[in-house]
Structure 1
Amino acid sequence: MKKTLIITFSILFLFIGCKSQINYKKQDSFKETSKRKHTIQALLWQQNAAEYRALTYQAYNLAKIQLDKILADNQFNKPIAIVTDIDETVLDNSPYSGKQIELNENYNSKRWTEWVKKEKANSIAGALSFFKYAESKNVVIFYISNRSTNQLNETIKNLKTHDFPFADRSHVLLKNTSSEKETRRNLVKETHEIVLFLGDNLTDFASVFENQSTSQRNKSVDSLRTLFGEKFIVFPNPIYGDWETKGIFEGKYDWSTVQKDSIRRKKITSY
C-alpha cells in the first residue's frame, strides 16, 4: 500500500512538472512572437495624445525664447548656427514604428530604407515655424542625423516637401561610417558658432553621452542640468533611442525577445 502511494504521488508530481513546463514554453513562444508589443502604448501616445504635440510646441517655443536672448546679446565673431537632429525632432517617423508592430519585426535596415524612400515623414509640430523664424534672423541651420549617407537625396527631398530652410547637401550631415556626431558638430564649429542643439537623444548634444549605461546617463544629465532648456532642447521619444539600447539593454544587441522582456520587467521600480 505504502509503495503504491509513493508511485502514485511520484507520477502525479511528474505530471504537474511536465504540465508546468509546457505552459512555460507556450508562454515563451507567445513572447517570441510579440516582438513589438511593448511599443504599442508609446506609439499610440505619440500619434494621438495632444500632450505629445503640446510638448513639441513647448520645446520649440522654448528654443525661440532662448534664440531671442542669444540674438539680443550677440557677441560672437562667427555666424550663428543651430544644430538639430532630424528623426523625431524635425520629422515624424511614427508610421515606420507602426509598420514594425503590424509586421511584428524589430528594426531592420531594409524596412527603414523602404520608409525613407517614400519621403512621407510629416514635420513635428512647431518645427517649421521655428526654423523659418531662425532663418529670418540670419541663423544657419545644420541637420546632423544618423540616417545613412546613401539616404541623403530622399532626406533632403522630404525636408523640402515641408519647406524646411537649408535643406541641401551643405547643411544636411548624415552618418558615413560612425554614428558618433561630435566629428560633424566640430566641422560646423570651424565656421559657425553653435548656439542651440535640438534632439530627442542625448548624443545629439554632446559626446559625453556616448555609449553610457543608464546610471551614467543620468549622472551626466545631472552634471549638465543647467544647459537643458538653455542650450540643449530635448524632444520626447518613448519608442526608441540610446535610453533603451545603451541604457536598458546595456549596449548588447543580441538579447532574445524573452530576455528583453525579462530585462524590462527587472528594471521597473515598484513599491
Structure 2
Amino acid sequence: MRKIFFILALISIAITSCKPTEKNIQTKNANDHLVMATLWFQRASECKALYYQAFNLAKFSLDKQLAINTNSKPKAVVVDIDETVLDNSPFETNSIRTGEAFTAAAWKEWVIMAKAAPTPGSLEFLKYAESKGVETFYISNRSVDDIEKTIQNLQAFGFPYADKDHILLKSDTSIKTKRRNLVSESHEILILAGDNIGDFDEILEDRSTAFGFAKVDDMKEQFGKRFIVLPNPMYGSWEKEVLKSERKLNASEKENLRIKQLIGYEEL
C-alpha cells in the first residue's frame, strides 16, 4: 500500500512540475508570436511571389496612367521603406532569438548596420519608373536622425533618388499626410506603395470601428491601381486595435488577446 501511495505522490509531483505557472507564462519569450510570421516572410516563395505581383501591378498601372495623363506637373511614385522596398526581417529574427521586446534603441542598432536588402521587385520597379521620367519619394516613419544610414542603405543597392531631397522621415508624427502633401505641391503622385494601410490615406488610419474594414471597402477600386499593398505579417499598426488596453500587457495577456480576436466556428 505504501508503494502505491509513493507512486501516486511521484505522479502528482511530476504533473505539478509540468503544469505551466503564471510566472512561467509571463516570462515566456515575448516574441514567440513572430516565429511563424517571420519564417513565412523569409522562406515562403508565396511571399516573394506577392511582392513580384504587387510591383508588376504597379508597373502596369504606372504605364496606364502615363499613357493618358495630360498634366504637365512632374510625376512621382511614393513608397514606404521598411517591408516595402527594404527587408528588415533579420531584425525580427534577432528579436526572436534574444527574446527582447522592441525598443527604439534596438531598432536603431539595426538601422545603423545599413544591411537591409531590397524586397523582391522593388528596385526593378523604381528603376523602371525612373526610366519613364518618374521620380521616387520615400516617405518612412524612420526617425529623421536615421537619414544618413537610410541613404547609405538605399544607395548601396542602387535605389534611384536616394537622397535628402527625396527621403521624408518622421520628425513629429507618424501620420504621413503632411509629407504626402509636401510631395503633391511639386509633383503629381501616380502610385503609392506600402505595407501599412496608413501609407495611402489618413482616412484609413482609424481602425476603431470594425478594424477599419468599411473604409477599405469604400476605397477598394484604388487598390492595385493607385494603391499598391505589400505583405507584412510580422508587425503593423493593425495590431494596436487587437491589443487595445488601458494598461501595459505582459506577453501572456497579449497572446490571449490575439487568440480572442480570431474567428472560429463559434463566431460563424
Q: CA, structure 1 residues 228+253, in 2 after alignment: closer, same or farther (shift >3 Å)?
A: farther
Measure, in 1, the Cα distance between the counterparts of 2:245 and 2:164. Answer: 32
Report the Cα offset of residue 123 of structure 1.
0.3
Encode CA deviations 1:150-179: one digit per residue, 9 max, x unaligned: 000000010000100000000000000111
Q: TM-score, normalised by structure 2?
A: 0.89
Measure, in 2, the Cα distance between the counterparts of 1:196 and 1:144. Answer: 13
User: In the alignment, what sits opposite 1:262?
Assistant: 256
Measure, in 2, the Cα distance between the counterparts of 1:182 and 1:252. Answer: 27
User: In the alignment, what sits opposite 2:8?
Assistant: none
User: In the alignment, what sits opposite 1:98?
Assistant: 93
Is the Cα–Cα contact under 8 Å of residues 148 and 176 in structure 1 kept in the other structure? Answer: yes
Report the Cα offset of residue 212 of structure 1.
2.1
Matched length: 252
Measure, in 2, the Cα distance between the counterparts of 1:25 and 1:42. Answer: 25
> Identity of counterpart residues, as a percentage?
44
1:209 aligns with 2:204: yes
Is the Cα–Cα contact under 8 Å of residues 35 and 106 in structure 1 kept in the other structure? Answer: yes
Is the Cα–Cα contact under 8 Å of residues 74 and 188 in structure 2 kept in the other structure? Answer: yes
Report the Cα offset of residue 240 of structure 1.
0.2
Report the Cα offset of residue 254 of structure 1.
2.1
Q: TM-score, normalised by structure 1?
A: 0.88
1:191 aligns with 2:186: yes
Is the Cα–Cα contact under 8 Å of residues 111 and 146 in structure 2 kept in the other structure? Answer: yes
User: In the alignment, what sits opposite 2:219?
Assistant: 224
2:38 partner amino acid: L
In structure 2, list runs of 5 or more residues that go unmatched.
1-13
Report the Cα offset of residue 26 of structure 1.
1.4
Measure, in 1, the Cα distance between the counterparts of 2:249 and 2:91. Answer: 22
User: In the alignment, what sits opposite 1:161?
Assistant: 156
Alignment of 1:62-73 (within 5 A): 62-73=57-68
Measure, in 1, the Cα distance between the counterparts of 2:209 and 2:153. Answer: 33
Encode CA deviations 1:31-79: one digit per residue, 9 max, x unaligned: 4322011110111010111110000000000000000001111122311
Measure, in 2, the Cα distance between the counterparts of 1:244 and 1:214. Answer: 14
2:46 partner amino acid: E
Q: CA, structure 1 residues 265+227, in 2 after alignment: closer, same or farther (shift >3 Å)?
A: same
Measure, in 1, the Cα distance between the counterparts of 2:18 and 2:214. Answer: 42
User: In the alignment, what sits opposite 1:16?
Assistant: none
Q: CA, structure 1 residues 243+116, in 2 after alignment: closer, same or farther (shift >3 Å)?
A: same
Measure, in 2, the Cα distance between the counterparts of 1:190 and 1:208. Answer: 20
Q: CA, structure 1 residues 185+252, in 2 after alignment: closer, same or farther (shift >3 Å)?
A: farther
Report the Cα offset of residue 28 of structure 1.
4.7
Alignment of 1:55-66 (within 5 A): 55-66=50-61
Report the Cα offset of residue 93 of structure 1.
0.1
Partner of 2:190, secondary structure, is strand
Report the Cα offset of residue 266 of structure 1.
0.7
Q: CA, structure 1 residues 251+27, in 2 after alignment: closer, same or farther (shift >3 Å)?
A: closer
Measure, in 2, the Cα distance between the counterparts of 1:28 and 1:57. Answer: 45
RMSD value, Cα: 1.9
Is the Cα–Cα contact under 8 Å of residues 25 and 252 in structure 2 kept in the other structure? Answer: no
Measure, in 1, the Cα distance between the counterparts of 2:31 and 2:222. Answer: 34
